[in-house]
């Protein structure tokens, strides 16, 4: 599905995928920045814990956002697809300044809300300026193409990744989470071999990509964001690779970004950002 069209005079909301295991207690800098982006004490955040089957997940994030000073927070869970048609739930989404998807199982999330009125409403709200974030499975579903599951390892093979439709807020990137912790470079490269148009974004734990309306990505958090750019891909053997055959990819560009660095998803330009500012010495 295509992202909703941004109407004249309006601006798309931010998209904030988080690699999972974000700091929640001592220094919840990622969640705090998302809360401030949504309006701080005036923010109105809806938490969607559908990816998780743990009853405590939604209330935990509700308490976290309230502890960060958010004015209004509600949990909207969807246990069945028919829940996504309820008028009261859609109206609650309409009042939100921010929508946050928790972690869990991205296939549970996509099969529960994919193609439903809720999915359509969230795309439309993001096009009208509502910020949408998610952690782990909640990050994976944000884009048009979602990694459903795959194999660990450094080398891409044709069978190392399985893709499924995501929420469709954007078609510019494919997310992989818990990236370096779970050795997922190979499966993200394989995803790009299937779809070279997209940019691969590998998010480490406690690390987020804050993507603003002009498609500039800024890294926030303690880990790294690995950006795979297949825009200048010269050759791929994906069409001839067997299920377990390693895929040859020539011309793939890799950037490793840490907090303060940026990447423009439209121009494909990476920058050290604030890291490039000379440090003052005494």
- 136 in active site: yes
Supply the pLDDT for residue 236. Answer: 97
- Assess if residue 264 is contained within a domain: no
Q: Which two three-digit tokens encode residue 282?
A: 């005494």
Q: Rounded to 5 degrees, what angle do the CA atoms 242, 247, 249 make?
A: 150
Instruction: Find the helix or strand (DSSP H, E) in which 93 lies.
Output: helix 87-94
- In the numeric block, the tokens 């190392």 are attached to 160
- Assess if residue 162 is contained within a domain: yes
- Assess if residue 273 is contained within a domain: no
Q: Which two three-digit tokens encode residue 204?
A: 């480490």
- Assess if residue 272 is contained within a domain: no
Per-residue pLDDT of the chain (282 residues; tens, 9 = 90+): 678 899 999 999 999 999 999 999 999 999 999 999 999 999 999 999 999 999 999 999 999 999 999 999 999 999 999 999 999 999 999 999 999 999 999 999 999 999 999 999 999 999 999 999 999 999 999 999 999 999 999 999 999 999 999 999 999 999 999 999 999 999 999 999 999 999 999 999 999 999 999 999 999 999 999 999 999 999 999 999 989 999 999 999 999 999 999 999 999 999 998 777 766 655
Supply the pLDDT for residue 39. Answer: 98
DSSP category for residue 117: H
CA 129 to chain centre: 17
Query: Cα–Cα distances in Å, from 114 out to 1, 43, 142?
Result: 10, 26, 11
- Assess if residue 110 is contained within a domain: yes
The single residue of 136, 143, 160, 236 carrying the catalytic annotation is: 136
Q: Domains in the chain: how many in total?
A: 1
- Regarding pTM above 0.85, the answer is yes
The single residue of 145, 205, 218, 236 carrying the catalytic annotation is: 205
- Assess if residue 278 is contained within a domain: no
- Assess if residue 282 is contained within a domain: no
Look up the CATH number of the domain holding residue 79.
3.40.50.880
Supply the pLDDT for residue 276. Answer: 75
Strand (E) positions, the chain?
15-18, 44-48, 72-75, 98-101, 131-135, 145-150, 161-165, 173-176, 199-203, 207-211, 216-221, 224-229, 235-236, 249-250, 253-258, 262-264, 269-271
Supply the pLDDT for residue 282. Answer: 54
The single residue of 131, 160, 178, 218 carrying the catalytic annotation is: 178
Rounded-to-integer distance, Cα 91 and Cα 74, Å: 12
* Count of other CB atoms within 10 angstroms of residue 110: 22
- 205 in active site: yes
Q: Which two three-digit tokens encode residue 113?
A: 């809300």
Supply the pLDDT for residue 246. Answer: 97
- Assess if residue 270 is contained within a domain: no
Domain with 122, as residue range(s), is 15-256
Supply the pLDDT for residue 278. Answer: 65
Supply the pLDDT for residue 3. Answer: 86
């Amino acid at each position: 599905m295509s992202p909703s069209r941004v109407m004249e005079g309006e601006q798309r909301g931010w998209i904030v995928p988080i690699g999972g295991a974000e700091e929640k207690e001592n220094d919840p800098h990622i969640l705090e920045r998302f809360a401030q982006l949504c309006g701080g004490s005036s923010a109105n955040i809806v938490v969607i814990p559908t990816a998780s089957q743990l009853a405590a997940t939604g209330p935990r994030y509700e308490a976290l956002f309230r502890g960060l000073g958010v004015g209004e927070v509600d949990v909207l869970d969807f246990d069945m697809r028919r829940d996504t048609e309820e008028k009261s739930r859609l109206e609650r989404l309409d009042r939100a300044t921010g929508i946050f998807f928790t972690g869990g199982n991205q296939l549970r999330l996509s099969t529960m809300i994919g193609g439903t009125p809720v999915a359509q409403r969230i795309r439309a709200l993001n096009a009208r300026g509502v910020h949408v974030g998610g952690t782990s499975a909640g990050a994976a579903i944000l884009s048009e193409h979602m990694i459903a599951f795959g194999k660990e390892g450094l080398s891409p093979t044709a069978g190392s990744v399985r893709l499924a439709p995501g929420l469709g807020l954007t078609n510019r990137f494919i997310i992989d989470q818990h990236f370096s912790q779970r050795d997922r470079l190979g499966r993200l490269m394989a995803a790009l071999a299937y779809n070279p148009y997209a940019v691969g974004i590998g998010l480490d734990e406690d690390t987020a990509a804050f993507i603003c309306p002009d498609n500039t990505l800024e890294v926030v958090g303690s880990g790294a964001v690995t950006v795979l750019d297949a825009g200048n891909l010269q050759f791929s053997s994906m069409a001839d690779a067997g299920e377990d055959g390693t895929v040859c990819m020539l011309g793939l560009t890799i950037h490793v970004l840490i907090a303060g660095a940026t990447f423009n998803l439209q121009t494909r330009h990476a920058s050290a950002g604030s890291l490039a500012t000379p440090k003052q010495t005494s």
